[in-house]
Structure 1
Amino acid sequence: MKKIISILLGICLCGGVFAQTQLKIISFNIHAGYDAPIADIAAFIKEQDPDIVALQEVEYYTNRTGANTPRPINNNINMLNELAYLTGMHGMFYVTLEKCYGGKFGNAILSKHSFDETRRIMLPCAAGTEQRNAAIADIKLPDGTEFSIVDTHIDMSKLDNGMSQIKEVNRIPQLGKHYIVAGDMNRRVGTAEINELSSVWTLALSREFDHIGYYPANGWVVKETKVFSDNQLSDHYPIMVILEFVK
């Protein structure tokens, strides 16, 4: 009997030693809330039970009721606060455009885990073109695992902006630390900009303009990927990656 208990104890200890930290990450451009009520978007996120959600085209008290861009839903609300409340996740929002249809426009991150620190890097852009940013959150998990998530949305209207913005995103990772990048790069695999992105980040999943990658290349293992191609909540499909942390 003692021998059986010892064997079982050894199995449990080995299981603890070799258990690896995994993170489920979703990237989702919600199209400024044109296509579905925020409550429906929150319900989708909650159903997937992710650790991290990188959101693009998130708005704060905008009112898109004009003749050019009518939006019958989601006007005059704080989209991040609604999503955080309905999903039960921590949330952060960093503004890209300070003046947007009477409100603000930017990137947001939802996290199952609290943020150690958050910050924003304004990305370079030519005069007269739309500003973009990289929203960054540093997170420490209960098991001591530390990493940073970078959420960004690259300009599509001016090609030169795209390359300079990608180069700025490539300057974010620091040696010896673990990072995840997620967002709408407005470029497909094979373009010069995504080739540039891939010179620093290892892409785990790409679907049209949306990408999730990681740094360093030997710091993560891709366990699962998914494109939610039946999702009708936006003009972008949400994409999901499960990454395993390698210490």
Structure 2
Amino acid sequence: MQVRIATFNMASGEDPDCTAVERLFVDEDLDVIGLQEIERFTARAPYDMLPIVAGRNYQWQFAPTLALMGGQYGIATFARHQISQVKIHKYGVTGEEDRVFINVVIRLGDDTLSFYNTHLSFETPAIRSAQVAELMQAVHDDKHRNKVVVGDFNMDQSLSEWEAFDSSYTRVNGNSGHWFDTYKWRDSAMKVNAIDNIILSPGINLVEAHVVRRILSDHQMLVATISLPDM
């Protein structure tokens, strides 16, 4: 079974076009998406971004990370299939801002996909490494056969930061040495711009991957078509 997965930091502080993001979901024929930097009823965005992005085609689950300007800021997962379970985990090690991952289980016909979405801290590789350890411990303890981890991992100092992930898992960004620069603005503190990724558990096959070159954020959406193993 093939599934289309994406991860996208939509830069909610830059007044994103939520309707355009929803159209992108449909145009890319996406099944499951992890979004980072999305807001609900803040002073700078005094409305709920989630139902606009979801449109009529997607369910969503939100994980707040910060109380911001009278509202909430965080990450969210969208799926056009049934979401049957939701777990939110706050990292024990963080930088200036609290960070979390959200795990949902998605029903895909007779099969399921355990899907993790996160946004790691920007401050130091040491903080991110500790967060990856927490995240991957949860993934390893997860009894579901098919697991996917997506997010803005902020691994901007060296490509070697990705070695924190289990080598038996497939990294979409960086697969076969091909890297997508998903962060498109200039930041003198960043040494690499390939900071968004999709991580696949053993047995899931990567069919195709690309970035969407629409300017909707300071990030580009990373999309992967994956094939789940036969039951």
TM-score w.r.t. the length of structure 1 is 0.79
Q: 2:112 matched to which residue of 1?
A: 146
Give the share of equivalent positions with the same residue, in percent. Answer: 24
State whether residues 84 and 106 of structure 2, in contact with CA within 8 Å, keep that contact through their aligned partners in structure 1. Answer: yes
Residue of 16, 24, 34 corresponding to 2:4: 24
Q: CA RMSD in A?
A: 1.9
1:121 and 2:92 are equivalent in the alignment: no
Alignment CA distance shift 1:47-1:31 (3 Å): same
Kindly indicate whether the alpha-carbon contact (under 8 Å) linking 1:94 and 1:106 is maintained by their aligned counterparts in 2. yes
| AA in 1 matched with 2:52 | E
Structure 1 residue 204 displacement after superposition: 1.9
1:235 maps onto 2:218 in alignment? yes
Partner of 2:161: 193
Contact 2:38 2:73 in 1 (8 A): yes
Which 4+ residue blocks in structure 1 deviate beyond 6 angstroms?
Answer: none
Q: 3-state DSSP class of the match of 2:127?
A: helix
1:33-67: CA deviation from partner (whole Å, max 9, x where unpaired): 51532111111112112000110011111123xxx
CA contact (8 A) 2:125 2:157 kept: no
**Compared with structure 1, are the counterparts of its residues 135 and 240 closer, same or farther at alpha carbon in structure 2 (3 Å cutoff)?**
same
SS in 1 for 2:43: coil
Structure 2 stretches lacking a partner, 5+ long: 175-179, 181-193
* Contact in 1 for aligned 2:113/2:144 (Cα 8 Å): no
Q: Distance in 2 between matches of 1:78 and 1:200?
A: 39
Match of 2:76 in 1: 108
Contact map agreement 2:152 2:195 (CA 8 A) in 1: yes
* Partner in structure 2 of residue 223 of structure 1: 207
Q: Is the 8 A contact 1:35 1:235 kept in 2?
A: no
User: Normalization by structure 2: what TM-score?
Assistant: 0.84
1:209 aligns with 2:195: yes
Structure 1 CA distance, aligned partners of 2:81 and 2:35?
A: 16
Give the partner amino acid of 1:222: L
Deviation, 1:199, is 3.4
| Whole-angstrom distance in 2 between the partners of 1:189 and 1:199 | 20
Counterpart for residue 169 of structure 1: 135
Partners of 2:144 and 2:57 lie apart in 1 by: 32
1:1-150, aligned counterparts within 5 Å?
Answer: 21-32=1-12, 34-64=14-44, 75-84=45-54, 86-97=55-66, 99-126=67-94, 129-142=96-109, 144-150=110-116
Higher Cα Rg: structure 1 or 2?
1
